[in-house]
Amino acid sequence: YLRGGGKLFLLLGPALDRGVTRYASLGLESLTARWGVALPKTIVVDPVGIPGEQPLMTWATRDGYGDHPVGRAMAGKLTVWPLARELRVVKTKVKGLSVAPLVRTSPRGWAESDLASLKGQRPLSYDPAVDRKGPVIVAAAVSHGPTPQMVVFGSERGLLIRRLAAPTLRDYNRDLFLAALAWLSDEMALVAIGPKRPEHQRLALDDKQLGKTFLIVVVVMPLMALCGGLVAWRRRRR
């Protein structure tokens, strides 16, 4: 199908058994590797998290997008990656094939290979002997010459219907998916962030922005009010 010019969009999060003791095969590993994208048995973690989500295992990015039409359309937009797997670009025998990273972790992220750490049996930390240091790729686009051929996302949980149907969303996961789908369909004019409906205004703040907001609202503004009150009190005393 692919050799005949077909298009393929894959959402391939890590498959684990119920006890989180081993990885399960998806049956697509050899296919994606032939087209330049390997699926290592790792789970991507990153200290750049967001409030209300599982630390490390769910992380977010605003600037981890690759130099690609989809990545350029998403610049500065927050996307969230819960339980994502690593994608690795590999050499292939298919002539004219090119693989472009769409989304990466921050340099502080890594591909974790120790399932015991993921279960909480050992501290979750980067081990240079067995883990792959970030930035780690979690989404990639494959072109065959000038023709879009395949898109692979290393997580499907950020696109669950029950999640996207929430009354408010802090992220742009849906927009990333639609932009990648438009690129794969050769609809370049649609590779953009569409207009937002007023009832779905998104306040997307990461940890750093929340820290600044807390400092301004809880510390700076009350101090300014206190200083203003002291000045008014001293003037009245005079």
Find the range with the poorest average confidence among 1-5, 78-82, 208-212. Answer: 208-212
More confident residue, 86 or 220: 86
More confident residue, 8 or 194: 8
pLDDT, tens digit, 9 for 90 and up, residues 203-232: 556 667 777 888 888 888 888 888 888 888
Q: Which amino acid is at 42?
A: T
pLDDT, tens digit, 9 for 90 and up, residues 159-204: 887 777 766 667 888 899 999 999 998 877 666 665 555 444 455 5
DSSP annotation of 120: T
pLDDT-derived band of residue 10, with 50, 70 and 90 as boundaries? very high
Average pLDDT over all residues of the chain: 83
What is the pLDDT averaged over residues 93-102? 91
d(CA 183, CA 82): 24
pLDDT for 199 equals 44
Find the range with the poorest average confidence among 43-47, 141-145, 150-154, 184-188. Answer: 184-188
Q: 88-89 and 8-11: which strand pairing?
A: unpaired
Q: Are 95 and 35 in contact (CB under 8 A)?
A: no
d(CA 180, CA 190): 10
- Whether 53 shows a pLDDT value over 80: the answer reads no
pLDDT, tens digit, 9 for 90 and up, residues 22-36: 888 889 999 999 999
d(CA 114, CA 20): 11
pLDDT for 164 equals 74
Find the range with the poorest average confidence among 1-5, 48-52, 113-117, 209-213. Answer: 48-52
Q: Quote the percentage of the chain above a pLDDT of 90.
A: 33
d(CA 116, CA 191): 40
Closest by Cα among 95, 63, 67, 55 to 79: 63
What is the pLDDT averaged over residues 134-159? 92
Closest by Cα among 179, 177, 182 to 156: 177
pLDDT-derived band of residue 137, with 50, 70 and 90 as boundaries? very high
